[in-house]
Amino acid sequence: MKKRYYVLLIMTFTTGLYLGFIFKNVPFFELNTKIDIVAAGNLLLVLFLALLIPLYVTDKLGDKRSEKNLLIEELVILCQKLERINNFLESRADQTFSAEDFIKTLSLFKSARQHLWSIETALTQLEQTEVTNQTNELKKKITAYWESVTGPKGIKKNDSYTLKRTFLFSLHLPYEHTQSHARKLKFIINKA
């Protein structure tokens, strides 16, 4: 994009030089020296816009903007799903965590994980290395959060199990890492 811009700039400048040369030296043309400066400015502005619109605006419009917006919306939904898991666990702090709560937590994780994996193809189709790398990183973070909650030290499907507040403190970091990576990915997609 930048290369095209510089080439165009050089071409415009060179054409200007040639035109100046022709007007000055070729006898069939007579230059009117009493030019209306506003009219000349308007002409230049029109020419400038005529070049700018196809080069800059059209490129921006065709820049997968709608796909990017959709993907960002999907990431917002993912963040909400993660927040739902966190809020649900927090609501059970220092309380008995029933088998039903255990199943609900697994189901929420399944939904959040599948959400990310389902948009992965669309994310990689943006063909941006940074987006692909960050998507893989987000997959690792969400898996690490899942492991922290449901791993050997995590929740049990046992009606006598209590979800201790100290255990919930240990989940803050993996949860926050996942959320912050999702946010980072949104910014990267927006800039891509």
Identity of the residue, 68 or 97, whose beta carbon is nearer to another protein in the bound complex:
97
Binder of another protein out of 55, 72, 106, 188 (CB under 8 A) = 106
Between 12 and 158, whose beta carbon lies closer to another protein?
158
Rounded Cα distance, 28 and 8, in Å: 29
Of 65, 147, 165, 172, the one binding another protein by CB under 8 A: 147
Task: At 66, list the tokens.
Answer: 């709608």
DSSP reduced 3-state for 162: strand
- Phi and psi for 28 in degrees, rounded to 5? -70, -15
Among 109, 135, 175, 189, binds another protein (CB under 8 A): 109
Angle at 70 between CA 186 and CA 141, to 5 degrees: 40
Question: What does the block give as tokens for 110?
Answer: 């399944």
Q: Which of 120, 138, 119, 123 is nearest to 184 (CA)?
A: 138
Task: Provide the minimum distance between the beta carbon of 161 and another protein in the complex, in angstroms, as a whole number.
Answer: 7
Size of the site for another protein (CB under 8 A): 29
Asked if residue 102 binds another protein (CB under 8 A), the reply is yes
Radius of gyration of the chain, Cα coordinates, nearest whole angstrom: 30
| 154 touches another protein by CB under 8 A | yes
User: Which residues make up the interface to another protein (CB under 8 A)?
Assistant: 99, 102-103, 105-110, 113-114, 116-118, 120, 139, 143, 146-147, 150-152, 154-159, 161
